[in-house]
Amino acid sequence: MRTLGYYDGYLGFLCEPGSRPGAHSRVIDVGAGTAAFSEAWVAVNGAPSELALMEPSQAMLNRGAEALRARGVEPRLLPAILGEVRYTPSHEVLAAHVIEHCPDPLLALQHLFGLTRGGGRLRLVVSKPHWCNAIIWLQWRHRTFGKAEIQSLVKEAGFDIESDYAFPSGPPSRTSYGLVARRPD
């Protein structure tokens, strides 16, 4: 992820102006993979009071945990896919390139809504239409979302959209779209 620029892209996304989490934030990274998104979150915001990684692959969870421990954070590991486990709603829900792989993206967003406490934020990154994603599709068979489509789904799931983000460079600029959405109090 680092060599392709996604970690740097996540840093840029998380540094955008807007509301910042408090010192005692609870954070969950859904579909965490190697935890590049959570690692960037910690680099920008500091260690949260609790950080959980949800990921079905134990090998990926172990790599993500190792990366976060190098930053002084001991994550809670949840070996599961979205919708399989109940978890205390968090102040910050991170989800990068997750719902593209879910059979029902609206249901996936509703699960993310359930993981977000009132007033909390979803920091979502999805794949957008671009020929580069055709190459990725050959490996992962994921879907892409146009800006209007994903914004409509996020609103339908119950969130209020606060901002969106166009990744400025590298592969993320061609493959990814970010948005910040808030769960109403």
* pLDDT score recorded for residue 133: 46
* pLDDT score recorded for residue 146: 85
Give me the average pLDDT of each 10-residue run along the chain (185 residues): 71 86 88 94 94 96 96 96 92 94 93 97 83 52 80 98 85 80 96
| Structural domains of the chain ordered from first start | 6-11+23-182 (3.40.50.150)
Sheet architecture: strand order including 76-78 = 76-78, 50-54, 26-30, 90-96, 116-127, 176-182, 160-166
